[in-house]
Structure 1
Amino acid sequence: MRVLHVCAELFPLLKTGGLADVAGALPLALGALACDVRVLLPGFPAILAGLNMDGEVAAVNSMAGPVRILFGHTDSGIAVYVIDAPHCFDRPGSPYLDVGQQPYSDNHLRFALLGWVAARLASGLDSYWRAELVHAHDWHAGLVPAYLVAAGRPAKSVFTVHNLAYQGVFPAAAFASLELPPEFFSLEGLEFHGKISFMKAGLYFCDHITTVSPRYACEITHDEQGCGLDGLLRTRKADLSGILNGVDDQVWSPNLDPLIAANYSLEKMQGKAKCKLDMQIRMGLDQCSDQPLFAVVSRLTEQKGLHLVLAALDEITRRGGQFVLLGGGDTALEGAFKAAAAANPTQIAVQIGYDEACSHRIMAAADVLLVPSRFEPCGLTQLYALKYGALPLVRRVGGLADTVIDCSLENLEDASATGFVFDDFNTTALTKALRRAFILWHRPKDWKTTRRSAMQVDFGWSAAAAQYMALYERLIGE
């Protein structure tokens, strides 16, 4: 079975969020099941620099100008097509924003290219390999199913929603440059409140929709989390399923991780205390093993519930806990967390920005990872935390609800608990969960049992890959 994945980033070449982790791990897991997988990526400099190039597949004129399609491999063995178009992708700033943190004015063309090229690869652009199914990820690849339909459906399509809140919405005037049939700009197409929505295009034109957790697949068919697309999703409910993301054991494993101060395992946990001490020294916190270390590794946005964490910092420190944060985003949140750290530097530490090595060190050091999200399609940090023995404290939503079992009395009794779960999106509910975390911390036997249960949970990619394979086989067989 020949499957082409289409996305905007891939770990370790380029990463701005969890999408890259998925793109870097799922193709390998599918390959282990004898699926012939290739990935199509935009030619950002970091991606071109990180690949072992085999050569040029084709040079074509696109709606965004002349482009070359190159072919290469990652060091891990993933086969990759790259759209080499420096006028589109070789720019200062981030992959999506300019140096002033504003979206590039031609983002509609830059990411429409992913769909345009994918449809041509499915139609035989590469005479040596032709996709039977194209799997598009998030809004950046949202036009993939539309271009496939416009090309006569040369391959089946799957569209995965990683976060419905980011939709790739552009002015209606941009439609003319996309080289799609005029009738596609309609209610039954990619028109969304008079504008273009790449996300809606993916949802409408694909053969099957997946999301990254079962609960999120249900949540987005309702008004609260449907982001204006819940009506469309309800009409496509028969073609909608949730497949939980996994964790790459080669990247996230405390007994193998080269980025942490000391390795450890379920049977030999001494290294975790060394990692905690290392983090305390690095961040200037009190060097005390008796204080539980609470952590956040996250984009700083309202969605992630970080304003709730800010309001609960006094609860953490008053009860003798420490807090460390790694993340960036909303400038007001950044400033508030930095101010809190400046006011209490021995108990609160903040590092603004994202650093892959630091994120590993925090997982290894932390006793509790806070993920109090307003909504969370899947969440990967809580999965990493479970593997590293940092008990997740999460809101009962999306993939967080699917992956963390609350430390209620009955769950403690049968040793199924793996963390702390609360319901209401407010400071009171978070504070009550924090109090339960401190209570468990002061019951060392129960804490160790819960930590052991957390580290034993298997969220490897093999289960997800098997579900995707079954879906691919069904679609291709139809």
Structure 2
Amino acid sequence: MRLCDYAKEINLKSRKIIEILNKHGYDIKSHLTEIGEDLIADFEKLKDFHSIDIDERKINVLIVTTEALPFVRETGLADVMGSLPKELTKHNIEVSVVLPKYGLIPEHYQSEMTFIKRFNVKVGEKDVYCGVETLKHNRVNYYFIENEFYFNRDTLYDHKDEGEMFAFFDRAVLEMLNKINYKPDIIHLNDWYTGMIPLMYNVDYCFKEGYEEIRTIFTIHNIENQGRFDQSILTKACGVSDDYYADGTTRMNNHVNFLKTAIVTSDYVTTVSPTYAKEIQESHNGGGLHDIISFRDCKLKGIMNGINYDTYNPETDQNIFFNFTKDSIEKKVENKLSLQDLLGLPPDETIPLIGMVTPINEQRGMELLINSFDALMNLGVQLVILGRGETQYEDFFTEMEEVYPEQFQAVLSVNNELAHKIYASSDLILMPSRFEPCGLSQMIAMRYGTIPVVREIGGLKDCIVPYNEYNMTGNGFGFRNYDPDEMIDILNYAVTIFKRQDHWHNIMQSAMNCDFSWDHSAMEYVKLYKQVLNY
């Protein structure tokens, strides 16, 4: 609670108090006569409150997301939202999370939810039913916005009425606060689906009782996903005047843009790595929003995501063939031989095994891989790809399995158990992304002593220190340009280092000694929360 909030709570004349505080600092007792001796006791309360150490005050944060583990997952956002809230609770943050109640949420979680409220939400001229249910998981309060028409569907995204669907969700989140008597200090929003909340709050809620002085933070997880819709969505679904289109607040290239709206109306903007925060201010990386983001540079911060060290732990992971630690790293070879056998590749510990666990699309560098595939096979490596994606790439990999049956296997599916096996068994993990806001695979791989070969962009650049064979430092290999020849050159160098076992053992140890847990990231968010609240 801020000082002026407390003043209001104890019925002080806050305008006069603030005037005196501004004039005289916090040594205010000598000035009490200016506003009346009858307020002495209340000022003592105020003074006592202000003397509390800031670090002892619990900040109340509501995180708004469209997916979160363990409830529902379609993208990497769910991994982040499954880990960050729990980690924040360890740092004196009172965390709640709100997301849609999808029909895809497993029944055993739905059965644990408690219904707490129902009300109607305005979607244009329509009054639309909204229910709120809750459950507690890992010390975090979860709220679920229920509406079967919008959320009981086969997929989370890519619906024809997606703009209306998430306009409803955004308005429902704000309406929910008053209905359940909950006031957070900060609303922390994630990706374009939540992008109308800052504008809706500023226009319709910030002056209402119970909504005062809430701060909004918006996190960009991928600048390419922006939520573009026809202008009519403002009045037909968002309940926002066309004036905010005319003045440019919501307008981008003759469309309403949810992401732009959030960037210009929230109190602070974050993204998921320091390098990506710089890249999205460049014309070729900013998705057309680079000038707007650059203008808000003083209110922009890049904070790396982390990974769950309980889920990805080579010592205890039940999904891998053999458990190991950095002190028993020789057992990693047993995992490699087992994976080769499982996938029908000739088991041979001397052949470098490259893994890729990735969506199979253009963003993840599939064009680079296709244009250099023969050259890659000529390095004498084996390559395993796990993932689903665009048909033209899947068809190419299916064909390459027949051309290189002893070197290449593509498993065109999403398989969590096999993903863990690939991370634990491969020698190298390849990430040739065209752009990569943060990336998690490189962190997971290093947890298992698997060495990343990455394009030096976004979070990949922030994680990887290129290996230096002369002083034997570094934790991976990187190439700069989106160029197949550069990629093959650095892979050839990595294969050369692989064959020098003293160097390879050293780089595996360096990788496993890295700390990509959520603890550091959570501390950075706590610092930001305090900054935004002027604590």
**The two structures share one fold, judged by TM-score above 0.5:** yes
Local SS of the residue matching 2:347: coil
Give TM-score, length-normalised by structure 1: 0.94
Distance 1:135 1:286 in 2: 49
In structure 1, distance between residues paired with 2:530 and 2:175: 22
Residue correspondence of structure 1 range 345-364 to structure 2 within 5 A: 345-364=405-424
Aligned residues: 465
RMSD between aligned residues: 1.6
> Aligned ranges for residues 70-469 of structure 1 at < 5 Å?
70-74=133-137, 76-92=138-154, 94-96=155-157, 103-122=158-177, 124-127=178-181, 129-153=182-206, 154=211, 155-177=214-236, 178-410=238-470, 413=471, 415-469=472-526
Letter in 2 for 1:170: F
Match for residue 11 of structure 2? Answer: none
The answer to whether the 8 Å contact 2:434/2:482 transfers is: yes
Task: Give secondary structure in 1 for the equivalent of 2:389.
Answer: coil
Q: In 2, distance between residues paired with 1:187 and 1:232?
A: 14
Taking the aligned partners of 1:357 and 1:62, their CA distance within structure 2 comes to 41
Task: Note if 1:24 corresponds to 2:86.
Answer: no
Counterparts of 1:249 and 1:52, CA distance in 2: 29
Distance 1:392 1:339 in 2: 26
Give CA deviations for 1:136-193 in whole Å, capped at 9, x if unaligned: 0111111221222123333101100000011111122222221123322245311111
| Contact 2:145/2:173 (8 A) holds in 1 | no
Instruction: Among all aligned residue pairs of Structure 1 and Structure 2, give the percentage whose two residues are the same amino acid.
Output: 28
Partner of 2:47: none
Q: Note the alpha carbon deviations across 1:372-426, whole angstroms, 9 max, x for none.
A: 111111111111111111100001111111000111335xx1x431111001101
Counterpart code for 1:13: F
C-alpha contact (below 8 Å) 1:119/1:151 kept by paired residues: no
How high is the TM-score relative to the length of structure 2? 0.84
Query: 1:169 & 1:279 partners in 2: Cα distance?
Result: 43
Aligned-partner SS, 1:268? helix
The question of whether the paired residues in 2 share the 8 Å contact of 1:295 and 1:366 is answered with yes
Paired residue for 1:476? Answer: 533
AA of the residue aligned to 2:288: G
- How far, CA to CA, are the matches of 2:410 and 2:71 in structure 1? 26
**Higher Cα Rg, which structure:** 2
The structural deviation recorded for 1:462 is 0.9
Q: Within 2, Cα distance between the matches of 1:217 and 1:475?
A: 18
Q: Judge which range, 391-400 or 106-115, deviates more.
A: 106-115
SS of equivalent to 1:166: coil
Cα deviation code 1:46-82 (max 9, x no counterpart) = 33633563422321212452110111133x3432110
Tell me how far apart the structure 1 counterparts of residues 504 and 373 of structure 2 sit (CA, whole Å). 22
* Letter matched to residue 435 of structure 1: N
What is the match of residue 21 of structure 2? none
- SS of 1:267's equivalent in the other structure is helix
Q: What displacement does 1:315 show?
A: 2.9
Corresponding position: 1:37 with 2:95: yes
The whole-number CA distance in structure 2 between the counterparts of 1:80 and 1:302 is: 35
For residue 129 of structure 2, what is the aligned residue in structure 1? 66
Asked if 2 retains the 8 angstrom alpha-carbon contact of 1:165 and 1:227, the reply is: yes
Unaligned runs of 5+ in 1: 97-102
C-alpha distance in 2 between matches for 1:405 and 1:17 = 27
Q: What amino acid does structure 2 have at the position aligned with 1:167?
A: Q
SS at match of 2:145: strand
Question: What CA deviation, in whole Å up to 9, does each residue of 1:238-284 have, x standing for no partner?
Answer: 00010011111111111121111111111112332222122212211
* 8 A contact 2:469–2:503 mirrored in 1: no
Q: List runs of 5+ in structure 2 lacking aligned partners.
A: 1-58
Mapped partners of 1:186, 1:209: distance in 2? 23
Q: Is 2:14 the partner of 1:14?
A: no
